[in-house]
Structures are given as structure tokens and as C-alpha cells.
Amino acid sequence: MQDAIIIGGGISGLTAGYLLQQRGLDISVIEKGPTPGGPIQSVKQEGFLFEKGPNALLLPSQWVEQFIDELGLSTQLQESNPNAAKRFIVRNNRPVAVPGSLLQAVATRLFSLKAKLGFLGEPFRKRISEEDAKFETVAQFVQRRMGLEFLDYAINPFVSGVYAGDPEELILEHAFPLVRGFERDDGSIIRGAIQNKKRQKAAGTSYKKRSISFKEGLHALPQTLGRKLGNRLWLDSEVVAINQNDQGWQVTWKRDGENFEGFAKKLLVCLPSRAIKKLAWPQAIKEHLSSTPDLPYPTVHSLALGYRRDQIAHPLDGFGVLVPSKEDPNILGVLFSSDLFSGRAPDDHCLITVMIGGRQRDDLANLAKEALIELAAKDLDKLLGVKGAPCFSHLTTWPRAIPQYTKAFGPWKRTLAEIETDNPNIAFGGHAIDGIAMGASIQSGKRLADETA
């Protein structure tokens, strides 16, 4: 009997499996797809290196940085270009740099004088009750504390960029718990951010987050973990039955038409919410899950476009540009991929990644590649001065891209917690419970490993 079977070979499951293996435990990781890492896929074509899924890893902690070093990836690590600190948001059909200092905030054209003065008054606004705060959306919170203009031209595009979501649907307490804590504990976002930095410094836990990738793309991380796991990683393997007994769990999976069985003391599950609900659970768990609504996952198109550098008027001197829904765009935003990390495009060329769809543009979910390129071209010409057809293009469509932490998330998380309480030898992790960022998923895998051994 093994110590643990992990269902799901995304970055959370791989991290948990590797850490447990390093601690001397006997484990298996079962992954339905053909490659480790789920959506973390890097591809090189015609001299362009692009990401199908996440485009960068924002290092969330010193531990994640040490984890990468332990895996032997430090020599392949790429820091983002210093220009990446610069972000743009569109206002009146023009990209405007997001202010990075107090002086820039005073001078910026992104917000009106009225909005700036309203933001300065944020520390003096009253809190709402804890009961009301549990169900407050991101949009309600931001409008209450900072005003409508800040919602429209800062938070709306930010939420589209991070969640491909709608601030009118996301619940603040679930989607941005740190911000919720600022008001709850310190009475203000501004005051809370300042106090949080002081607390981290005093505790010696302060860490400067930064965006990284690897020379051959982000997939270097899951591929390395996959190699470390060796024959303990089962790819192209679909779980067809889960049964519980006195000793633990019996899991049956199918690969190449053949059934395999594993027996383990502990079962770790790192899957999207719908995939969790679809597993062949014992009847009691199946009924418990069926009574809970699924999380929404919008469709997102990731369009990698290569151009000659002289086809684009904008200097591409930043991370990218986000487009508020107020501007009536066809696209969510554009990442300046070849400016973000080196080695992404041939000489005298550049690579940009256009994101289309999301929760606020469900109407674009089923468009074909040619139609999406045509839609993108209109916005790219207007916003960045892009002229002519791309010399390279690749479309990746994620029908269920990012879990939305809406009002369904609270009941969903409670259901998983109740199943864990009723079955102490099962645990859930991954982006369906522990946060959507790649760094959060890595830390979710660590949490599962720490709780197991």
C-alpha cells in the first residue's frame, strides 16, 4: 500500500508529489492529460516562443524561490525586463501608464481630479458589518471605498486581466482576501497596506515579489517535476473508480485501454471543480458534491501574434495593456511577451499575446481563429498602432480557463471542508480552492505535502 495517491498532475499535484517523494513517501500522481502541468505549456514555432497558458510566474514567497533552486532550475531562470514594472490601462482609446509613484499619481491622465480626491478620502470611510462583507462583490467594495471611476478604470481591467472575470460577480472575501483583511483589521485599504508592510518587516517575512520565467518557457517547471517523479507519474491516465476501505483508498485508472489499480492511505485531489464532481466517488461523497453548485469557468482565447518590429508604433515598453469594459473593447488586454522576457522572438521581430473572451465577453467564446484575429486587429491598430497582418499566429482556446470565486465559492469550499472532516484521509488542493495564481498553486501543493507528512 502506498502512502498517497494524487489525482491531478497540474502544478499543485506535481509539487505535492515531488515533496512527498523527497520525504521518503511512496506515492503516485495520476494525470489525465498527455503532459505534466495542465495549462502550463510552452511552444516554440518559427522562432517564436509562446505560452499557451500562464505567461509568467509571480514569485509569492522565499520558499517558492528556494523550491525552484532545489529543482536545479536557477540557471534557466529569467527575470522579467525592468520595463515590466510599467503597466498600461486604456482610457479614451489610448494606453495610459499606471502611476508607479505619488508624483505620477497626481499627474496621471488615467483618473480625473474628482477621482483622485475621492481616493485620498478612502481611509476615512466607514466599514460595513462583517455579515454584509461576506457577500460583498469586488465592484460593490471598490465603489463604496474608492468610487465608480476607480472601479471602471483600475479594478475592472485588473479583474479582467487576473481572473478574466467580472467585478460585479466576484466576492471580495474569496477573490482578494488580503484586501478584505485590510478593511476588517485596519479600517482602510491604504492604512491596511501600510500596516501589512510594517508587520511583515517586523516579523522578518517581507519578500519582494517579482515575475519570472525560464529560458525555454514556463513549462520547464512541470517538466522538471515530471522527470523527478519518474514512473510515479502516470500520464494519459483517467481515473475510472474510487473506493474506500478500512486502510484507505483504492483508485482505478485506465491508460491505453488497460486498467491499473493503486491502494493508498491518503488521497489528494488537485483538480478543477467540475472534474472533482465528475470523479467516480463513493456514493456518500458523490451525493455531497452533487448538492453544491459548480464554479463558473469562462472561455478565454490566448492569441500569440508575431510581427516585424516596424509594424508596431508603440514602444512596447512594459508588461502589457489592459482594456476596461467601459472602453467597449474586443479584447481583454495585450501582453508584450518579447519585451517581458528575452528569447521570445527572432531578431527585429516582436511577440505579443492577446487575450480575448472572459466572463464579460461570453459572446466571443465560439469564434474561429480568423474572426478572432480580425477582431484583435481592430483594437491593436487603434491602441498600439499595429499595421499589417502578423507574420506568425497561434490560437489557444481554454473553454474552462479560470475558476471564478463568485457567491458559489463559499458553499463549494465548505463542501470540500466537510468531505475532508468526514474522511480525514482525503485532502483537496489546487486552484479550485487555494487561489488561481501559479504561485498559489505551488504553495497549495506544499500545504498538501505538509499535511500528509
Write out pLDDT tens, residues 141-184.
999 999 999 999 999 999 999 999 999 999 999 999 999 999 99
Q: Considering its fold, how many domains does the chain have in total?
A: 3
Nearest CA-CA partner of 212 in 60, 352, 58: 58
- Region 339-360 average pLDDT: 97
Are 52 and 191 part of one and the same domain? Answer: no
Q: What is the CATH number of the domain that holds 187?
A: 1.10.3110.10
Are 393 and 418 part of one and the same domain? Answer: no
pLDDT at 241 over 90: yes
- Please indicate, yes or no, if residue 376 is contained in any of the structural domains: yes
- Region 45-59 average pLDDT: 98
Q: 85: pLDDT confidence band, cut at 50, 70 and 90?
A: confident
Q: 57: pLDDT confidence band, cut at 50, 70 and 90?
A: very high
What is the longest distance spanned by two Cα atoms in the chain?
68
pLDDT at 35 over 90: yes
- Please indicate, yes or no, if residue 106 is contained in any of the structural domains: no
Return the minimum-mean-pLDDT range out of 82-86, 173-177, 337-341, 430-434: 82-86
Q: What is the CATH number of the domain that holds 440?
A: 3.50.50.60
pLDDT at 106 over 90: no
- DSSP strand pairing (320-322 vs 87-91): parallel
- Please indicate, yes or no, if residue 435 is contained in any of the structural domains: yes
Are 227 and 283 part of one and the same domain? Answer: yes
Q: 201: pLDDT confidence band, cut at 50, 70 and 90?
A: confident
Are 289 and 429 part of one and the same domain? Answer: yes
pLDDT digit string (tens) for 245-256? 888 999 999 999
Burial 92-113 (b: 16+ CB within 10 A, else e): eeebbbbbeeeeeeeebebbee
Q: 105: pLDDT confidence band, cut at 50, 70 and 90?
A: confident
Question: Residue 84 has what pLDDT?
Answer: 85
Nearest CA-CA partner of 214 in 223, 205, 206, 202: 223
Are 265 and 395 part of one and the same domain? Answer: no
Question: Residue 76 has what pLDDT?
Answer: 97
Q: 420: pLDDT confidence band, cut at 50, 70 and 90?
A: very high
Question: Residue 390 has what pLDDT?
Answer: 98
pLDDT digit string (tens) for 396-407? 999 999 999 999
Are 178 and 159 part of one and the same domain? Answer: yes
Q: Where among 169, 203, 237 does a domain terminate?
A: 203
| Residue 282 structural domain | 2-40+219-295+405-452
Are 287 and 243 part of one and the same domain? Answer: yes
Q: 102: pLDDT confidence band, cut at 50, 70 and 90?
A: confident
Q: Where among 176, 203, 230 does a domain terminate?
A: 203
- Please indicate, yes or no, if residue 104 is contained in any of the structural domains: no
- Please indicate, yes or no, if residue 14 is contained in any of the structural domains: yes
- Region 409-415 average pLDDT: 97
Are 128 and 251 part of one and the same domain? Answer: no
Nearest CA-CA partner of 9 in 27, 25, 28, 29: 29
Question: Residue 202 has what pLDDT?
Answer: 84
> Using CA atoms in the order 443, 448, 452, 453, what is the torsion angle rounded to 10 degrees?
-10
Are 170 and 284 part of one and the same domain? Answer: no
- Please indicate, yes or no, if residue 103 is contained in any of the structural domains: no
Question: Residue 83 has what pLDDT?
Answer: 84
Return the minimum-mean-pLDDT range out of 76-90, 196-210, 328-342: 196-210
- DSSP strand pairing (258-269 vs 2-7): parallel
pLDDT digit string (tens) for 216-228? 999 999 999 999 9
- Please indicate, yes or no, if residue 105 is contained in any of the structural domains: no
Residue percentage of the chain with pLDDT more than 70:
100
Contact of 44 with 219, CB cutoff 8 Å = no
Are 311 and 214 part of one and the same domain? Answer: yes
pLDDT at 279 over 90: yes
Question: Residue 28 has what pLDDT?
Answer: 99
Are 305 and 285 part of one and the same domain? Answer: no
> Using CA atoms in the order 234, 236, 239, 240, what is the torsion angle rounded to 10 degrees?
-130
Are 281 and 302 part of one and the same domain? Answer: no
- Please indicate, yes or no, if residue 30 is contained in any of the structural domains: yes
Question: Residue 246 has what pLDDT?
Answer: 87
- What is the spatial distance between Cα 404 and Cα 358, in angstroms, rounded to a whole number? 10
Q: What angle do CA 63, 155, 42 make, to 5 degrees?
A: 50
Q: What is the CATH number of the domain that holds 336?
A: 3.90.660.20
